[in-house]
Amino acid sequence: MQSPTDRAVRAAYELAQERYAALGVDTEAAMTRLAQVAISLHCWQGDDVGGFEIDGGELSGGIAATGNYPGKARTADELRADLDVAYRLIPGDHRLNLHAIYAETGGQRVARNQIGPEHFAAWVDWARANGHGLDFNPTCFSHPLAADGFTLAHQDPAVRQFWVEHCVASRRIGAHFGRALGTPCVTNIWIPDGHKDTPADRLAPRQRLIESLDAVLAEKLDPQHNRDAVEAKLFGLGFESYTAGSHEFYMGYAISRPGTLLCLDAGHFHPTEVISDKISAVLLYVDELLLHVSRGVRWDSDHVVTLTDELQAIMQELVRGDFLGRTHIGLDFFDASINRVAAWAIGTRNALRALLMALLEPTALLREQEAAGDYTARLATLEELKGLPFGAVWDAYCLRQGAPVGLGFLGEVRAYERDVLAAR
């Protein structure tokens, strides 16, 4: 028997379906396509990028999680339990993005260049049981050998070798995830390497970084199991004047190393620079793209993703260019000032909401108008879309996927906070 809310959602959807059909948009097809997209949630939102290393150090590498909201995960089991709640609040089937510091070593000290698949066995079992794919990242920060701000571009060959070995081990773990779960793992390399003040030599660190990356990627892994990505950044705390791994550096590297994905992080560019405009340009030269959807505020502050114009523009580019099949979408924010489970739910639901909005565009019509030089009609159509009942389609999608409609997810978050998180 339908509840009054369910009946209202279905009635509103039928009206919305008619409105969109008048523009040639098939709402059913849009929801079917959306259900095929798996967003990779980031594990580090649940514990403020702490990880589970023995004697784990303070955050470094220009990373800072601000806030002290109670209830953060203290163990891998707590983190997985929190994630289970978050996934129930998000429509669709999605992935998890792990960092190397989330290894479970049974209380033993294991150097980062010695980690292996066995240290992530519980994560694989959990992912298999819940139908989640896994993605992976070497952790080249928050470590004594990264304390001076350099890792793969370090002047000391011994330090560079340590980080090369860590990244090699991480790629092998990623390949293990792909084999075990039957879906390719994207293993993404990000390093903080750079200078606080203006350097005299910008070239040498980049030359060393090329050598290190080539050593990391020398072992050929089956792309059905592991996909390699490299991630650029403009600056970070303590690295305001120079980063070796800039956008231009990594774009050149990815283009010149076939099969390497380029990662664009929405918070890793100048505050007035956006990644939506880069997507079509980059995909002319690389086969696949990795997106880290975040929300920088004045700097790379990794705020929870909201339904901003830029988020909508990112998803519009993916749909208008038919790039969804070539793009891996992940999230990257860590807000410790609000309930962490709610942060996952709000951010991921917004990413999916923006993608659905893009899928509900009459793309063929807009292209026809543009090709004909009828920019007046194009503008009028785009503006008209803003007033169409998109929310009714989103509510219907959540209902069909078994996820809470509207603010219903917040009640579940509050109950979990009261019954579980408050006791931590």
Residue 57 has pLDDT above 70, yes or no: no
Q: Is the dihedral of CA 406, 412, 415, 421 positive or negative?
A: negative
Catalytic residue among 135, 193, 228, 231: 231
**Average pLDDT for 153-170:** 98
Domain 38-361 is found in CATH 3.40.390.10: no
For the chain, what percent of residues have pLDDT higher than 70? 99
Task: Give yes or no: 190 in active site.
Answer: yes
What's the per-residue H, E or C state across the chain? CCCHHHHHHHHHHHHHHHHHHCCCCCHHHHHHHHCCCCCEEEHHHCCCCCCCCCCCCCCCCCCCCCCCCCCCCCCHHHHHHHHHHHHHCCCCCCEEEEEHHHCCCCCCCCCHHHCCHHHHHHHHHHHHHHCCCEEEECCCCCCHHHCCCCCCCCCCHHHHHHHHHHHHHHHHHHHHHHHHHCCCEEEEECCCCEECCCCCCCHHHHHHHHHHHHHHCCCCCCCCCEEEEEECCCCCCCCCCEECCCHHHHHHHHHHCCCCEEEEECCCCCCCCCCCCCHHHHCCCCCCEEEEECEEECEEEEECCCCCHHHHHHHHHHHHCCCHHHEEEEECCCCCCCCHHHHHHHHHHHHHHHHHHHHCCCHHHHHHHHHCCCHHHHHHHHHHHCCCCHHHHHHHHHHHHCCCCCCHHHHHHHHHHHHCHHHC
Catalytic residue among 82, 288, 300, 395: 300
Q: Say which residue, 64 or 67, is predicted with more confidence.
A: 67
Q: Say which residue, 36 or 2, is predicted with more confidence.
A: 36
pLDDT digits (tens, 9 = 90+) for 375-412: 999 999 999 999 999 999 999 999 999 999 999 999 99
pLDDT value at residue 51 = 94
Task: Give yes or no: 292 in active site.
Answer: yes
Residue 161 has pLDDT above 80, yes or no: yes
Mean pLDDT score of the chain: 95
Q: How many residues does the chain have?
A: 424
pLDDT digits (tens, 9 = 90+) for 28-44: 999 999 999 999 999 99
Residue 27 has pLDDT above 60, yes or no: yes
pLDDT value at residue 289 = 98
Catalytic residue among 123, 190, 344, 394: 190
pLDDT value at residue 75 = 96
Residue 143 has pLDDT above 70, yes or no: yes
Band the pLDDT of 212: cuts 50, 70, 90.
Answer: very high
Closest by CA to 142, choosing from 184, 181, 190, 187, is: 190
pLDDT value at residue 67 = 87
Angle at 252 between CA 247 and CA 256, to 5 degrees: 150
Band the pLDDT of 336: cuts 50, 70, 90.
Answer: very high
pLDDT value at residue 300 = 77
Task: Give yes or no: 412 in active site.
Answer: no
pLDDT digits (tens, 9 = 90+) for 229-245: 999 999 888 889 999 99
Catalytic residue among 268, 278, 303, 328: 268
For residues 220 and 246, give the distance between their C-alpha atoms in angstroms, rounded to a whole number.
25
pLDDT value at residue 205 = 98
Catalytic residue among 332, 335, 395, 417: 332
**Average pLDDT for 186-204:** 97
Residue 2 has pLDDT above 70, yes or no: no
pLDDT value at residue 231 = 97
Residue 53 has pLDDT above 60, yes or no: yes
Residue 1 has pLDDT above 60, yes or no: no
Task: Give yes or no: 277 in active site.
Answer: no
Model pTM score: 0.96
Residue 80 vs residues 72, 87, 96, 186, 336: alpha-carbon distances, Å:
12, 10, 10, 20, 17
Task: Give yes or no: 126 in active site.
Answer: no
For the chain, what percent of residues have pLDDT higher than 90? 91
pLDDT value at residue 396 = 98
Residue 339 has pLDDT above 60, yes or no: yes
Task: Give yes or no: 148 in active site.
Answer: no
Catalytic residue among 228, 288, 302, 335: 302
Domain boundaries, the chain: 38-361
Task: Give yes or no: 268 in active site.
Answer: yes
Catalytic residue among 82, 193, 228, 265: 265
User: Taking each helix axis from N to C terminus, what angle separates 76-88 and 121-130, rounded to the nearest 10 degrees?
Assistant: 20
Task: Give yes or no: 231 in active site.
Answer: yes
pLDDT digits (tens, 9 = 90+) for 75-108: 999 999 999 999 999 999 999 999 999 999 999 9
Band the pLDDT of 55: cuts 50, 70, 90.
Answer: confident
Task: Give yes or no: 233 in active site.
Answer: yes
